[in-house]
């Protein structure tokens, strides 16, 4: 028990641990180095440093009443807690807390699927239910609903949605927090609160109408530290009968503007699932003429090089969920809408399958073009295979990539905004000293959130795993965040080590949003015991730690 | 019976498959407190892994084959076993499968005891030999 919570004596901590044992049983309080090890962040940029965010202990309740007791004990002994569901939020801190020495409240034992309704299309789960668990529950019972899973799928719907995670099917469901409907929360006082219609005893529509009556505080629990969520409802997509894809290609760089307008239109009519944008011009990235044209953002030259190589400048793969007939009609209509905007657009039929797809259909892409889609996630099938992105490969032969932190900035949902971001991110890369040879003129947005684009603005795909390398990378990431913010780009999500930095940038009107959140925090959680520092929200009791990870 | 040093340096974890022998794999290795593996998880795309699987299978170890991705066997085969109790699991897989396995194993009171990256022989991902073992029993 080498690490203690800040300001807590060894004697007091030992007493608190003993009290926790009486609540959950000896087997479910973890204090040895070996037992605490899994609660460290595998990808921490400060791994094995004196300030690494290692918890002092972990406790595993199996019911709401135990969570309440844990919170009361933490209040009594002034011990910071950090709650996790499955703790698989890698790249964003994993299971590790914002404050070194916190006690992790590991909710994996609360793993009941409480309800899945395939007529009204919702599920209610506890925090320890993973996407894989929920998928299996649905499959084993033959229920006709789909989940919308992140990739990988070992996280939980509650944890992922509370960190504003995303998926890959239809727009409404891809926003996992947006698709939640009703939650139960243990407040810092130890009381249990239900949001929306759950506040009405005997309500018949808790997981159908999430607003209830009056202000809805549910948003406070997303990326927040105002309570421990112990149940949550989610809207589910009815299982479609058919799935179809098609590829759209446009020849010129400037065509991206009209293409995105058309796809936005189709998306907001609810006709398409996640569109997957790309640029085949990446194939020219070693061509010196192309590099020179890219550096000059010379659209005419880029267009002529694309034409000479017989490559389209942009493409987007569309997907349609419905019946065989409606998906065909949807694809036909998409071609009509896009042709009106970009007469030179070309279309290639993709795949057309009855749902559910067979395992072979999920594994083998048979589209007559190179598809960027990871098929399982477009079908709501959770997987664990995506870790190929961090493993050592021919391109990254020396090290498993420990520096797995991604910065994704919100970008306006237009072609103009995307091309401006390409220029801005190139300029920023040069300012912060990244070894870039040319602008990312082929970089495309992801449309995880239906109504917003995200673009990678800093991702150490093959980083330096040494402490010095990580420290340097962290400084670079902070500089990127600063420069991004100067240009109006903000991150949507961050690991603990960068949360103060990101929070600082949401500074409109002298940081009034931040001050508002901390005013609430101090009122609701006067001892500051719940996840202090999360999202940059520091209660008075721990305010001295604000920004401490920058040192 | 091999000693700990021999086990670690020349045994299951650090040797190439062709040098492994049934006695090493089947040995209780009681002197280092590690019982025989109950499972051997291997990437069947690699000849070295298939060869070692034959040896392990002959020694009575339950075999689980994957092809890069661990997902297909997790829910149906491995998780039900790990829910029963922590166990010794040996494997020869790519690094990403090992990462997934050791992370999931931590949820079932197991830990990575040792791993060793093998030389890259074809393909873009090197194989790892590894051993997962139960964490120490909790003390009052």
Domain range list for chain A = 10-106, 113-238, 242-355, 406-494, 502-550
CATH, range A10-106: 3.30.43.10
Q: What are the percentages of helix, strand and coil residues in chain B, rounded to 5?
A: 40, 25, 35
Q: What angle do CA A185, A191, A196 make, to 5 degrees?
A: 40
Q: How many residues does chain B have?
A: 140
Lookup result for tokens 């973890």: A30
Give CA–CA dist A123/B81, Å, rounded.
27
Tens of pLDDT, residue by residue over B34-64, are: 788 999 999 999 999 999 999 999 999 999 9
Is the per-residue pLDDT at B126 higher than 50? Answer: yes
Q: Which residue has the tokens 């040319």?
A: A438
**Do the beta carbons of residue A192 and residue A199 sit within 8 Å?**
no
Domain contains B32:
yes
C-alpha pair distances (Å), B45 with each of A227, B48, B63: 47, 9, 14
Q: Is residue B9 part of a domain?
A: yes
Report yes or no: A1 at the B interface, CB cutoff 8 Å: no
Strand partners, B130: B91, B115
**Which chain A residues contact residue B99 at CB under 8 A?**
42, 387, 390-391, 400
Confidence (pLDDT) at B4: 35
- Between chains, do B99 and A390 touch, taking CB under 8 Å as contact? yes
Residue B140 domain-assigned? no
Collapsed DSSP state (helix, strand, coil) of residue B40: strand
List of chain B residues whose C-beta atoms are within 8 Å of the C-beta of residue A384: 69-71, 74, 100
- Look at B96 and A34 and tell me if their CB atoms are within 8 Å: no
Q: Is residue B103 within 8 angstroms of chain A, CB to CB? A: yes
Main-chain phi, psi angles of A293, to 5 degrees: -65, -35
For residues B115 and B129, is the Cβ–Cβ distance under 8 A?
yes
Beta-carbon contacts of A115 under 8 Å, excluding residues fewer than 6 positions away, are: A122, A123, A124, A207
Q: Spell out which residues of chain B touch residue A27, defining contact as CB-CB under 8 Å.
A: 138
Question: Taking CB atoms and an 8 Å limit, are B69 and A383 in contact across chains?
Answer: yes
As given in the structure block, the two tokens for residue A276 are 């997957």
Sign of dihedral through CA atoms A191, A196, A201, A203?
A: negative
Is 3.40.1450.10 the CATH number for A113-238?
no
- Count of structural domains, chain B: 1
CB A136 to CB B75 under 8 A? yes
Q: Quick check: B106 and A38 CB within 8 A?
A: yes
Q: Nearest CA of chain B to the CA of A338: how many Å?
A: 37
B29 pLDDT tier (thresholds 50, 70, 90)? very low
Q: Residue B107 belongs to what domain range? A: 4-134
* Closest residue in B to A383 (Cα–Cα): B71
Q: What are phi and psi of A124, to 5 degrees?
A: -130, 125
B124: which chain A residues are within 8 Å (Cβ-Cβ)? Answer: 393-394
pLDDT of chain A, 551 residues: tens digit per residue: 479 999 999 999 999 999 999 999 999 999 999 999 999 988 888 888 899 999 999 999 999 999 999 999 999 999 999 999 999 998 899 999 999 999 999 999 999 999 999 999 999 999 999 999 999 999 999 999 999 999 999 999 999 999 999 999 999 999 999 999 999 999 999 999 999 999 999 999 999 999 999 999 999 999 999 999 999 999 999 999 999 999 999 999 999 999 999 999 999 999 999 999 999 999 999 999 999 999 999 999 999 999 999 999 999 999 999 999 999 999 999 999 999 999 999 999 999 999 999 988 988 888 999 999 988 999 999 999 887 666 655 555 555 566 667 788 999 999 999 999 999 999 999 999 888 889 999 999 999 999 999 998 765 545 677 888 888 888 888 999 999 999 999 999 999 999 999 999 999 999 999 999 999 999 999 999 999 999 999 999 999 999 998 87
Domain A406-494 has CATH 1.10.3470: no
Chain B's closest residue to A39, CA to CA, is B106
Contact A384 B140 (CB under 8 A): no
Q: Answer whether B107 sits within 8 Å of A108, measured CB to CB.
A: yes
Closest A-chain CA to B136: A34
CA dihedral A216, A221, A227, A228 (to 10 degrees): 120
The answer for B 5-64 residues in CB contact with A (under 8 A) is none
**Minimum CA–CA partner of A42 in chain B:** B103
Cβ-defined contact of A383 to B107 (cutoff 8 Å)? no
- Could you tell me if A35 lies within 8 Å of chain B, comparing CB atoms? yes
Collapsing DSSP states into helix, strand and coil, what is residue A156?
A: coil
- Distance from the B60 Cα atom to the nearest Cα atom in chain A, whole angstroms: 28
**pLDDT over threshold 60, residue B11:** no
Closest chain A residue to B100, measured at CA: A384
Per the structure block, which two tokens stand in for A454?
């995200």
The most distant pair of C-alpha atoms in chain B lies apart, rounded to whole Å, by: 50
- The reply to whether B139 falls in a domain is no
Give DSSP secondary structure letters for A426-489: HHHHHHHT---SS--TT---B-SSTT-EEEEEEE-TT---SHHHHHHHHHHHHHHHHHHHHTT-
Q: Does the distance separating the beta carbons of A387 and B71 come in below 8 Å?
A: no
**Would the CB atoms of B94 and A391 count as touching at under 8 Å?**
yes
Cα dihedral across residues B13, B15, B19, B24: positive or negative = negative
Query: A202-234 in b/e burial notation, b at 16+ Cβ within 10 A?
Result: ebeebbbebebeeeebbebbbbbbbbbbbbbbb
- Tokens (6 digits) for B126: 């090197």
Please indicate whether, in this complex, the C-beta atoms of B71 and A384 are within 8 angstroms of each other: yes
Q: Which two tokens stand for residue B102?
A: 């050791």
CB contact under 8 A, B126 and A392: yes
- Which pair of tokens denotes residue B132? 């997962």
Check: CB of residue A496 under 8 Å from CB of residue A531. Answer: no
d(CA A305, nearest CA chain B) in Å: 32
In a mutational test of the A interface, the residue from B71, B73, B112, B137 whose CB has the highest number of chain A CBs within 10 Å is B71
Tokens representing residue A171 in the block: 């727009």
| B118 vs A: CB within 8 A | no
CB B47 within 8 A of CB B10: no
Q: What distance in Å separates the CA atoms of residue A374 and residue A362, rounded to the nearest whole number? A: 9
Would strands A242-250 and A346-354 be described as parallel, antiparallel, or unpaired? Answer: antiparallel
> For residue A153, which residues of chain B lie inside 8 Å, CB to CB?
71
- Say if residue A72 is exposed, middle or buried (CB neighbours under 10 Å; 0-12, 13-18, 19+): middle
User: CA torsion sign, A51 to A56 to A62 to A65?
Assistant: negative
pLDDT digit string (tens) for B68-99? 888 989 999 999 999 999 999 999 998 889 98
pLDDT at A334: 98
Residue whose tokens read 């009107």:
A509
Contact check, Cβ <8 Å, B70/A384? yes
Chain B residues in contact with A26 (beta carbon < 8 A): 138, 140
Q: Which among B71, B95, B126 has CB closest to A385?
A: B71
Nearest CB to B135 within list A35, A359, A385: A35
For A242-355, CATH gives 3.40.462.10
Q: Which residues of B touch A390 (CB under 8 A)?
A: 96, 99
| CATH topology assigned to domain A502-550 | Vanillyl-alcohol Oxidase; Chain A, domain 4 (1.10.45)
Candidates B75, B96, B140; nearest CB to A132: B75
């Amino acid at each position: 028990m080498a690490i203690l919570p800040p300001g807590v004596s060894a004697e007091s901590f030992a007493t608190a641990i003993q009290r926790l044992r009486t609540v959950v049983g000896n087997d479910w309080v973890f204090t040895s180095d070996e037992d605490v090890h899994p609660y460290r962040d595998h990808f921490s940029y400060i791994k094995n440093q004196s300030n690494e965010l290692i918890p002092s202990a972990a406790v595993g309740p199996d019911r709401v009443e135990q969570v309440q007791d844990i919170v009361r004990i933490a209040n009594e002994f002034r011990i910071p807690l950090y709650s996790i569901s499955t703790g698989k939020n890698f790249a964003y801190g994993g299971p590790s807390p914002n404050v070194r020495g916190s006690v992790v409240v590991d909710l994996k034992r609360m793993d009941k699927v409480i309800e899945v309704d395939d007529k009204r299309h919702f599920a209610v789960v506890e925090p320890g239910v993973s996407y894989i668990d929920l998928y299996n529950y649905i499959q084993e019972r033959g229920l006709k609903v789909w989940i919308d899973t992140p990739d990988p799928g070992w996280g939980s719907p509650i944890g992922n949605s509370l960190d504003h995670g995303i998926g890959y099917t239809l727009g409404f469901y891809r926003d996992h927090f947006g698709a939640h409907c009703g939650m139960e929360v243990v407040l810092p006082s130890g009381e249990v609160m239900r949001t929306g219609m759950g506040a009405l005893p005997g309500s018949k529509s808790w997981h159908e109408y999430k607003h209830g009556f009056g202000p809805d505080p549910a948003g406070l629990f997303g990326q927040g530290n105002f309570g421990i969520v112990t149940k949550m409802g989610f809207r589910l997509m009815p299982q479609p009968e058919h799935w179809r894809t098609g590829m759209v290609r446009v020849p010129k760089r400037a065509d991206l503007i009209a293409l995105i307008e058309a796809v936005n239109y189709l998306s907001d009519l609810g006709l398409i699932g996640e569109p997957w944008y790309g640029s085949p011009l990446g194939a020219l990235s070693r061509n010196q003429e192309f590099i020179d044209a890219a550096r000059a953002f010379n659209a005419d030259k880029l267009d002529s090089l694309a034409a000479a190589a017989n490559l389209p400048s942009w493409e987007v793969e569309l997907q349609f969920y419905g019946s065989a007939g409606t998906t065909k009609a949807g694809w036909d209509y998409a071609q009509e809408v896009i042709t009106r905007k970009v007469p030179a657009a070309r279309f290639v039929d993709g795949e057309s399958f009855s749902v559910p797809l067979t395992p072979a259909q999920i594994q083998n892409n048979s589209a007559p073009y190179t598809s960027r889609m990871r098929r399982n996630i477009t079908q709501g099938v959770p997987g664990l295979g995506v870790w190929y992105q961090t493993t050592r490969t021919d391109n990254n032969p020396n090290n498993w990539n420990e520096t797995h932190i991604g910065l994704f900035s919100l970008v306006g949902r237009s072609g103009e905004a995307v091309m401006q971001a390409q220029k801005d991110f190139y300029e920023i890369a040069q300012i912060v000293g990244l070894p870039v040879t040319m602008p990312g003129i082929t970089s495309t947005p992801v449309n995880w959130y239906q109504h917003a684009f995200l673009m990678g603005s800093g991702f150490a795909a093959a980083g330096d795993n040494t402490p010095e390398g990580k420290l340097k990378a962290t400084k670079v990431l902070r500089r990127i965040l600063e420069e991004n913010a100067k240009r109006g780009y903000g991150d949507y999500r961050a690991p603990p080590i960068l949360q103060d930095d990101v929070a600082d940038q949401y500074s409109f009107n002298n940081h009034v949003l931040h001050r508002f959140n901390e005013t609430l925090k101090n009122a609701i959680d006067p001892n500051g015991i719940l996840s202090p520092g999360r999202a940059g929200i520091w209660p008075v009791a721990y305010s001295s730690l604000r920004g401490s990870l920058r040192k | 019976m091999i000693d700990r040093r021999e086990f670690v340096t020349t045994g299951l974890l650090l040797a190439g498959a062709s040098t492994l022998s049934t006695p090493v794999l089947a040995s209780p290795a009681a002197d280092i407190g590690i019982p025989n593996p109950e499972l051997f998880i291997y990437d069947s795309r690699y000849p070295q892994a298939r060869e070692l699987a034959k040896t392990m299978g002959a020694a009575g170890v339950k075999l689980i084959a994957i092809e890069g991705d661990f997902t297909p066997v997790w829910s149906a085969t491995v998780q039900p076993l790990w829910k029963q109790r922590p166990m010794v699991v040996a494997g020869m897989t790519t690094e990403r499968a090992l990462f997934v396995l050791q992370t999931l194993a931590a949820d079932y009171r197991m830990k990575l005891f040792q791993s060793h990256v093998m030389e890259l022989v074809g393909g873009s991902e090197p194989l790892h030999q590894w051993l997962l073992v139960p964490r120490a029993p909790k003390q009052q």
